[in-house]
Amino acid sequence: MTDHPGSNMYQPLPNNTSIRLLRILSEPGEDPLCSLETFDIDDEIVYDCLSYTWGDPLDHQLSSPSSTPLADLPPGQAVTLDCGYKIDVTPNLFDALQHLCSNGYSTMAIDTNSGRTKNYLWIDALCIDQSSTDEKNIQVSMMGRIYEKAQTVIIWLGPGDEHLAGAAKVICRLSSFSPKQARRRFQDIDDPELLETVGISQQQWVDYAAFLQRRWFGRIWVVQESFFSGDKEVWCGDRILPWSKLMTAAQLLDETHLDTVLKAYILNMLEKPKFKGSIRTKLFDNRLNNQQIFGKLSKMSAKSLNLGQLLYFSRCFNSTDPRDHIFAVLGMWDASQICRGTSFQIKPDYDSPVADIYVHATYMAIYEARDLGMLGLVEDSTFRDDPELPSWVPDYRKGHRMLPLTNQVRSGTRSNRWKASDGLIWNRPSTSMWSRTLPVEGLLVDVVDDIGPTYAEIDGEFLLKDLLSLVARYPYARYPSQCVSPSEAFWRTIIQDTFREQPADNDAARNAFVAAAVGKMRDLEAEIAAVGEAMGGGAFAPYRVEMEQFMLLREQTLRILARLETEAPFDGVIDALTKAQRQSESTRDREDFEESFRIAYYGRRMFRTRKGYFGITAQSLHQGDCVWVLAGADTPFVLSRLQDENWRVVGEAYVFGIMNGEVLAGERRLEKVFLR
């Protein structure tokens, strides 16, 4: 048996537009026997593409313990070529080929010239000489055309399992929803009204979640494969599902809020920490979320997608080779005229270092958009482990750790709520070569003087006081802008001034903050009561230290609230606490405020500047770091000085009072600096 193809098995392709196609010769029940033939991509030939995942196609977290991962099956399965060579393939590809044979695939494709029955397939693992980097570079650059010209793309999701029947029922049910039903919003999978309205049981929701957790939905190459293909068939075990129904079901989940509800339900099932980070941010790399990306892309064309938007999407998916986070989306990018006129076009090159490819792609995305929205994708340094990456370049291998503040990368437009740089654009450098150093212009606004806790330091605890201390430490301060009190600026900052996806300058948001603060205090009181009950039952010693800590925490928090009670909305917190027996908190208000807080604060921390501005940014910031407004950036950034004009990006920032060009209102001279 020959290990994966060597030079003796594959003859060099005649030219840069040549491709190999595979033809299945075996009959149902036989081990795969195939032939490889060479064609030109411009030839009139009928063929299909197989889209699959190389590893185990199933995610077994929601399955019974008896399910066997394909990766654990004995290796050594091989495809035999008619010339006698044997090619080792992954168990999932072997399984896919056997299913194609069993379903009579050899009778499907017909050569348009001869009319003879053929069964031509393009399969990356078999049709590309994987041992030749030069061939891989050329073939990968053609994959967009290969999938676009295919008659059908067969999406192989893997074998059937215990969840498939239930998942298929859910897909059928959701895709048949009426417009009236689609306008409903649900809060909980356990809601009896949901079962009555939708007709889907809890177990069927679990089946559907398990189906969407199949690893095909998390593979980066399938984004391009599904984007270019016209006719798509989804094969899963012995079932063939219409791709359109999958997309309709995904859209319905989004419109009814059921996607968020389902994620929360599954997280609790898996006994993971509840809401450990926002379910909208923590799970961006989760395959349940990727359905929305497929849906968005299905409505777009390559001309409407810029490179930055594609790079944003690429982080939601996984790849074996980290370079593929760039190469897998290049075929979907119709470079603008400005980019086509440069000498630093991006082409697949698997010999290039990963860091160089990431720098090149990020620079090109900034160059194309002429704005700095890409800097908003940079993760906190605590999540980075590649020292070769400049601070302004995202590590695309890492899933989204927090939701970017700016919308311009996500939507592909400059339509955004904030305009910190007041419409100033990033000036392209005169050189036509990409660089590891990014020149920018901006205004140094202020210096970080005090720092609050990170999300991880307060999540799941009763440490309301650690956040409140940041405002309580400055009792006589005035806020430097917008005629608001520091207390008002404080609570709006910790949610990025956004509540229920709308600006938070309203009574509903203020009341929700009060509900959240009161709820935290009530949780603490309940914990104290529970510990006291345990101590009263005779278990005194084990709980003594815990009780002392809780009592001290309550005393400290109440003391801080008392110092702030003269300012709204903290007067409402004190009032609600004193009337706790007669008032009931709004559970929904509290939950919505805490969700707004999670979205804004996860992976970040609060800070106060020397002038008194409140802001939140990446959690690795230090005292002495500087707040900048950069030309071409809709949001401020926190930078750390390296030496002279060289700076390091700490992270994108929300700073209350400077988000809409306020600091550039007068004649201000911009300073040129370099990000490294």
8 A C-beta contact, residue 108 and residue 119: yes
Kindly report, residue by residue over 340-358, the tens digit of the pLDDT. Answer: 666 667 889 999 999 999 9
> Is residue 429 over pLDDT 80?
yes
Can you give the pLDDT at residue 520? 82
User: Within 13 A of 364's CA, how many CA atoms are on the CB side?
Assistant: 27
Contacts of 338 (CB under 8 A, 6+ apart): 367, 368
Of 604, 629, 657, which residue is a domain's last? 604
- When mean pLDDT is compared across 36-45, 96-105, 437-446, the lowest value belongs to 96-105
Instruction: Enter the pTM of the model.
Output: 0.86
Relative to beta strand 109-110, strand 117-118 is antiparallel
Task: Identify which of 384, 527, 401, 540 has the alpha carbon closest to the alpha carbon of residue 460.
Answer: 527
SS in 3 state form for 509-529? HHHHHHHHHHHHHHHHHHHHH
Residue 642 counted as domain residue: no
Q: Are residues 358 and 266 in the same domain?
A: no
* CA distance readout (Å), 320 to 52, 231, 323, 555: 14, 27, 9, 52
Can you give the pLDDT at residue 413? 53
Higher pLDDT, 74 or 274: 74
Can you give the pLDDT at residue 480? 94
> Is residue 2 over pLDDT 50?
no
- When mean pLDDT is compared across 396-405, 406-415, 660-669, the lowest value belongs to 406-415
- When mean pLDDT is compared across 247-261, 578-592, 651-665, the lowest value belongs to 578-592
Q: Are residues 79 and 125 in the same domain?
A: yes
- When mean pLDDT is compared across 174-188, 354-368, 515-529, the lowest value belongs to 174-188
Higher pLDDT, 621 or 568: 621
Query: Which residues, listed in sequence order, are joined to residue 626 by a DSSP beta bridge?
Result: 447, 639
Rounded CA gap, 4 and 124, in Å? 13
> How many domains does the chain fold into?
4
Task: Identify which of 93, 98, 112, 105 has the alpha carbon closest to the alpha carbon of residue 45.
Answer: 112
Of 604, 629, 653, which residue is a domain's last? 604
Residue 226 counted as domain residue: no
- Give the highest mean pLDDT range of 231-240, 595-604, 615-624: 615-624
Can you give the pLDDT at residue 283? 38
Give the pLDDT band of residue 140 (cuts 50, 70, 90). Answer: very high
Can you give the pLDDT at residue 1? 38
Q: Are residues 24 and 139 in the same domain?
A: yes
| Triad 533, 538, 539: Cα angle to 5° | 80
The amino acid occupying position 345 is Q
Kindly report, residue by residue over 214-227, the tens digit of the pLDDT. Answer: 999 989 998 888 88
Q: Are residues 406 and 322 in the same domain?
A: yes
Q: Are residues 599 and 461 in the same domain?
A: yes
Tell me the three state secondary structure of residue 673.
strand
8 A C-beta contact, residue 570 and residue 489: no
Residue 443 counted as domain residue: no
Tell me the three state secondary structure of residue 578.
helix
Residue 641 counted as domain residue: no
Rounded CA gap, 92 and 560, in Å? 60
> Is residue 21 over pLDDT 90?
yes
> Is residue 7 over pLDDT 50?
no
What's the rounded mean pLDDT across residues 661-676?
A: 88
Which residue range forms the structural domain that includes residue 188? 163-213+243-299
Residue 205 counted as domain residue: yes
Of 140, 156, 172, which residue is a domain's last? 156
Kindly report, residue by residue over 180-191, the tens digit of the pLDDT. Answer: 666 666 667 777
Give the pLDDT band of residue 273 (cuts 50, 70, 90). Answer: very low
Q: Are residues 293 and 304 in the same domain?
A: no
Q: Are residues 597 and 466 in the same domain?
A: yes
> Is residue 62 over pLDDT 60?
yes
What's the rounded mean pLDDT across residues 14-39?
A: 91
Q: Percentage of the chain surpassing pLDDT 90?
A: 40
Relative to beta strand 232-236, strand 239-242 is antiparallel
Q: Are residues 339 and 201 in the same domain?
A: no
Residue 79 counted as domain residue: yes
Q: Are residues 344 and 464 in the same domain?
A: no
Can you give the pLDDT at residue 556? 79
Tell me the three state secondary structure of residue 470.
helix
Q: Percentage of the chain surpassing pLDDT 70?
A: 82
8 A C-beta contact, residue 640 and residue 657: no
Can you give the pLDDT at residue 457? 87
> Is residue 375 over pLDDT 70?
yes
> Is residue 64 over pLDDT 80?
no
Can you give the pLDDT at residue 225? 87
Q: Are residues 136 and 24 in the same domain?
A: yes
Relative to beta strand 438-454, strand 109-110 is unpaired
User: Within 13 A of 213's CA, how many CA atoms are on the CB side?
Assistant: 20
Higher pLDDT, 601 or 585: 601
Residue 12 counted as domain residue: no
Residue 335 counted as domain residue: yes
Rounded CA gap, 595 and 403, in Å? 13
> Is residue 274 over pLDDT 60?
no
Q: Are residues 524 and 586 in the same domain?
A: yes
Contacts of 339 (CB under 8 A, 6+ apart): 307, 345, 364, 367, 368
- When mean pLDDT is compared across 361-370, 383-392, 414-423, 495-504, the lowest value belongs to 414-423
Q: Are residues 492 and 590 in the same domain?
A: yes
> Is residue 123 over pLDDT 50?
yes
Give the pLDDT band of residue 407 (cuts 50, 70, 90). Answer: low
Q: Considering Cα of 509, then 656, then 623, then 477, what sign does the dihedral take?
A: negative
Q: What is the mean pLDDT of the chain?
A: 83
What's the rounded mean pLDDT across residues 556-565?
A: 76
